Amino acid sequence: MTSQATRNLATFTLHDGGGVPLVLLHGFPLDHRMWATCAQHLPPGVRAIGVDLPGAGHSDLDGFPPSIEHAADSVYRTMVAAGEGNAVVVGHSMGGYVALALAERHPGFVAGLGLVDTKSTADTEEARAKRLRVAAAAEASQTVDAVLGMPAALVGATTTKGRRQLFPVLDSWIRAQSPAGVAWAERAMAARPDRTAVLERFDAPVAVVVGAEDSITPLAEAEHMVRAAASPSGYTAGDAALTLVPGVGHMSVVEDPQAVAAALGLLHAQVITHH
Ligand code: MLT
């Protein structure tokens, strides 16, 4: 029998400050460390908390079946236990899927949404099948070999040419993940629904950030989210709604941390004004 004890996730203060924090949710197959440099570039006084999602980094799997909804509930529970009543929730890629599920399930907690190199649409059947193959390979081999090749696809062409130093960093983060955590996350992502309607209903500031060379969650997906967020029932975040970061790919947070931090600083300021 699997244990289903609810455990809090590992959290890390990545930038000191007060008031409504930014809660930073990482992509796959990574952990909170992908946000560390970006958080250092946030405006003074903006508090940032990095979270390791279930099975990633320092957070255990707790016996729950793979689901983005469980990841979202775990973030919520962890933050409430830490005394946080609300937060600007910022997710990169897989973290964005979790952020949208949080906005759907715990809307009162989400004071603003930052969606970085992510999408609100569900997977295609082909993508789903690939995820299930990767999950099975990680479990069968008890290694993360199936995802070691990802950095080449994660970064943009400009980084491949000019920021080679990022490759060993990404590689070391991926190698630190557990095969069970990789399998859990792949299955959770495969099962997630389209959450575009969550953005249509969401009534607080939204910022969408995308690398101009992102081929995994490209500009068209970002524009789709901006259109949904700006629909009549949603809050229109104005000029800050879409930030296109030149010269970077899917890992904009790591490839150009300053540009992403600037967009998130603006989002945080909008949330404070909106409150
Ligand atoms: C990520 O960066 O989190 C992944 O590329 C997301 C995905 O596989 O959809």
Q: Which of 26, 28, 98 is the pocket-test mutation for ligand 1 (most atoms within 8 Å of CB)? A: 28
Taking 3-state DSSP, the helix, strand and coil percentages for the chain, each rounded to the nearest 5, stand at: 50, 15, 35
CA dihedral of 91, 268, 210, 128, whole degrees rounded to 10: 20
pLDDT (0 to 100) of residue 30: 98
Nearest CA to 105 out of 143, 132, 67 is that of: 67
pLDDT (0 to 100) of residue 233: 59
216 lines ligand 1 (CB under 6 A): yes
Which residues of the chain have a pLDDT value below 70?
1-6, 232-240
Q: Which of 93, 134, 155, 209 is the pocket-test mutation for ligand 1 (most atoms within 8 Å of CB)? A: 93
212 lines ligand 1 (CB under 6 A): no
Ordered domains of the chain (ranges, CATH): 11-120+146-174+192-274 (3.40.50.1820)
Judge contact between 110 and 136, C-beta under 8 A: no
Ligand 1 atom at shortest distance from the alpha carbon of 27: 3
| CA 248 – CA 93 distance, rounded (Å) | 15
pLDDT tens digits along 23-40: 999 999 999 999 999 999
pLDDT (0 to 100) of residue 190: 98
| CA 85 – CA 69 distance, rounded (Å) | 19
pLDDT (0 to 100) of residue 3: 42
Instruction: Please give the model's pTM, rounded to 2 decimal places.
Output: 0.96
pLDDT (0 to 100) of residue 234: 56
Does the ipTM surpass 0.85?
yes
CA of 262 relative to ligand 1 center, distance in Å: 23
